[in-house]
A and B are shown apart, each in its own frame.
Chain A
């Protein structure tokens, strides 16, 4: 049943995958062809744009779309656990986002062909941004899974970004290392070397993110399972 749910999500969100692939490829080709900036800077510009645009595009109507279209009534009548419905949506979004970031990274490597940045560097930077984008999507799901419309999802995303922005400022200004390692954009910050080696420990970052993502997914799943208002 989970496979059928995944197939449904794949079909519903195929246009987002197409959108992400086409726009990312278009901007990569343009920036790497005209060479307005150095290759690493072009990579950083595209990655930053992707970091905020791609998760927002996916999360905007991932859950609220079913609510505003009232199709959630039909979906919840299907004899399948709600947590499976939640994870089918989440995993499909995560997988498609991964596909977009991997293909963008490969295209950057192809276009850059190690002329300025060393081999694999652009892919690594874009990949780390992709990890951060996945973490952001997780947090958007936590706060947006009960939204009834796009506006609710948007407000949830705004809140997530502001909240983590405050944590970022606090952790870097007051040198709170553990709080820094909880930031979803920690991988992106590390990729661009925006922080010191003392603040960023990759092993701790990975372990912290795994722990907090499990917690976040548990909360998101619980909130989705407990939806009452629209039914």
Chain B
């Protein structure tokens, strides 16, 4: 058969599937670009590309199943087998054309994101080549396995489910096979060539699936499946895999545990060989039992003022109450020239009791002073090194008494999100913090937590740091 006509016939056969898949995979990036355009940040898409790329391998599998089903269902199978067509070239042609089509579909959001980002910012997306490679390999794997499964099963939905499950299983093999893992991060990812293993497994399985497809079609192999047995088998397999994997990383016996109700989230830090929890307690474990010894962190201010009285920090009315932001950690840690620093917001307020409509009393905070405090961690204590007076921000504290506060640290700057403003701080010299830029914040983040963090204006952040 003429190759061009064959390719044309195959593409024509899949036209609706291709259109549907392009629509599905491009829906979110297009929506993001329109939203960005509406927000005045230019018509570009970048953050959703990764989400969309997860769909790529799934859709590649769908194309594979549709491709096979188009010619291998009962009547069509009998039809083309009656024609003088070689099984090998026919299946190879179908396989290759479907693979090219699915890779083109998968490439659409990446190309769109790259092109629009270049047009909007003049910069390229970071790590786009690695992303491309990863998604292409994953899509190739899913496509091949789903193709093989549909040749055997001859039912689109079941073949797709089995194919995707096998592809996921293949990705888990490098995790499961080395049966003596002690620490996933070091033993598996860094030392054992984890990425190479994944690449070998995926490409090997893809090639095996292709060969298996040709053999299965030549010998007309078919497997009759049952939804019930498939689901039980799949769940059982996942359970066994999970057991195998968890056996390797969860074989640490719990010797002792202590309840830590004081904080909702713990900040564990290792400083000069000492293990600190929320910078207030030092953890030691003699005789396999946990001991929490209070450090003198809380008194470091008093110590500092006693030792260096010539350089007081800031003076506030002692009647004011004090709270810290973030209130569940010790602050935002960063390093400059090998020294450890922490940024934290000290807020001073007056508590005002208010009678609620329900009859109960509620204490409302009226903020008076806000200071951004930078401390250096030396020999077990946090020593104050500098501060910034941000009291002009207290007007923007909302009625419920929340201060919105977040920090994004880059190489030499800190992007401080404080209420309705974004402050860009120069942090190359922590002893001398300076505000270099102030901008109003625009809109809420899609990852809004209970503190309702807004999006930082991104114009002043280099693309590589975003």
Which residues of A approach B to under 8 Å, CB–CB? 15, 19, 22-23, 26-27, 30, 34-36, 57, 60-61, 149-151, 153-154, 158, 162, 165-166, 169-170, 172-175, 193-199
- Given that A19-B235, A35-B254, A195-B448 are known contacts, is A162 also in contact with B27, CB under 8 Å in the complex? yes
- Cβ contact of B450, chosen from A34, A150, A193, cutoff 8 A: A193
Q: Is B28 touching A34 in the complex (CB atoms < 8 A)?
A: no
Q: Is A153 touching B231 in the complex (CB atoms < 8 A)?
A: no
Distance in angstroms from B69 CB to nearest chain A CB is 8
Interface flags, B376-403, vs A, CB<8A=1, else 0: 0000000000000000000000000000
Distance in angstroms from B153 CB to nearest chain A CB is 11
Closest chain B residue, CB of each to CB of A61: B227
Q: Is A153 touching B250 in the complex (CB atoms < 8 A)?
A: no
Distance in angstroms from A183 CB to nearest chain B CB is 13
- Given that A35-B254, A172-B448 are known contacts, is A150 also in contact with B227, CB under 8 Å in the complex? yes
CB interface residues, B 419-449, toward A, < 8 Å: 443-444, 446-449
Q: Is B450 touching A166 in the complex (CB atoms < 8 A)?
A: no
Q: Is A60 touching B227 in the complex (CB atoms < 8 A)?
A: yes
- Given that A15-B228, A30-B242, A150-B158 are known contacts, is A196 also in contact with B48, CB under 8 Å in the complex? no
- Given that A35-B254, A150-B157, A150-B227 are known contacts, is A170 also in contact with B450, CB under 8 Å in the complex? no
Task: Give chain B residues whose Cβ lies under 8 Å from the Cβ of A165.
Answer: 28
Q: How many residues of B contact A (CB 8 A)?
A: 35
A60 to B226, CA, bound (A): 13
CB interface residues, B 146-190, toward A, < 8 Å: 155-158, 160-161
Task: Give chain A residues whose Cβ lies under 8 Å from the Cβ of B155.
Answer: 149-151
- Given that A19-B232, A196-B450 are known contacts, is A170 also in contact with B31, CB under 8 Å in the complex? yes
Task: Give chain B residues whose Cβ lies under 8 Å from the Cβ of A26.
Answer: 235, 239
A161 to B28, CA, bound (A): 12
**Most chain A Cβ neighbours within 10 Å, of B158, B161, B235, B451:** B235
A195 to B419, CA, bound (A): 18
- Given that A35-B250, A196-B448 are known contacts, is A166 also in contact with B239, CB under 8 Å in the complex? no
Q: Is B157 touching A149 in the complex (CB atoms < 8 A)?
A: yes
Whether B200 sits at the interface, judged by CB under 8 Å, is no
Distance in angstroms from B276 CB to nearest chain A CB is 20
Which residues of B approach A to under 8 Å, CB–CB? 24, 27-28, 31-32, 35, 38, 48, 155-158, 160-161, 227-228, 231-232, 235, 239, 242-243, 246, 249-250, 254, 443-444, 446-452
Closest chain A residue, CB of each to CB of B36: A173
Q: Is A153 touching B157 in the complex (CB atoms < 8 A)?
A: yes
A203 to B30, CA, bound (A): 33
Task: Give chain A residues whose Cβ lies under 8 Å from the Cβ of B228.
Answer: 15, 19
Distance in angstroms from B248 CB to nearest chain A CB is 11
Task: Give chain A residues whose Cβ lies under 8 Å from the Cβ of B157.
Answer: 60, 149-151, 153-154
Q: Is B239 touching A197 in the complex (CB atoms < 8 A)?
A: no
A199 to B451, CA, bound (A): 12
Q: Is B250 touching A193 in the complex (CB atoms < 8 A)?
A: no
Distance in angstroms from A173 CB to nearest chain B CB is 5
Q: Is B27 touching A166 in the complex (CB atoms < 8 A)?
A: yes
A19 to B235, CA, bound (A): 9
A30 to B236, CA, bound (A): 13
A150 to B154, CA, bound (A): 12
Q: Is B443 touching A175 in the complex (CB atoms < 8 A)?
A: yes
- Cβ contact of A36, chosen from B235, B250, B443, cutoff 8 A: B250
Q: Is A19 touching B231 in the complex (CB atoms < 8 A)?
A: yes
Distance in angstroms from A191 CB to nearest chain B CB is 14
Distance in angstroms from A181 CB to nearest chain B CB is 15
Task: Give chain B residues whose Cβ lies under 8 Å from the Cβ of A57.
Answer: 231
Task: Give chain B residues whose Cβ lies under 8 Å from the Cβ of A22.
Answer: 235
Q: Is A166 touching B231 in the complex (CB atoms < 8 A)?
A: no
Distance in angstroms from A126 CB to nearest chain B CB is 18
A22 to B249, CA, bound (A): 24
Task: Give chain A residues whose Cβ lies under 8 Å from the Cβ of B161.
Answer: 154
A150 to B231, CA, bound (A): 14
Task: Give chain A residues whose Cβ lies under 8 Å from the Cβ of B32.
Answer: 169, 173
Task: Give chain A residues whose Cβ lies under 8 Å from the Cβ of B227.
Answer: 60-61, 150
Q: Is B242 touching A27 in the complex (CB atoms < 8 A)?
A: yes
Distance in angstroms from B399 CB to nearest chain A CB is 12
Closest chain B residue, CB of each to CB of A157: B157
Q: Is B232 touching A169 in the complex (CB atoms < 8 A)?
A: no
Closest chain B residue, CB of each to CB of A168: B446
A20 to B26, CA, bound (A): 34
Task: Give chain B residues whose Cβ lies under 8 Å from the Cβ of A19.
Answer: 228, 231-232, 235
- Cβ contact of B444, chosen from A158, A166, A169, A196, cutoff 8 A: A196
Task: Give chain B residues whose Cβ lies under 8 Å from the Cβ of A151.
Answer: 155-157, 160
Closest chain B residue, CB of each to CB of A167: B31
- Given that A23-B239, A35-B254 are known contacts, is A166 also in contact with B31, CB under 8 Å in the complex? yes
Task: Give chain B residues whose Cβ lies under 8 Å from the Cβ of A169.
Answer: 28, 31-32, 48, 446
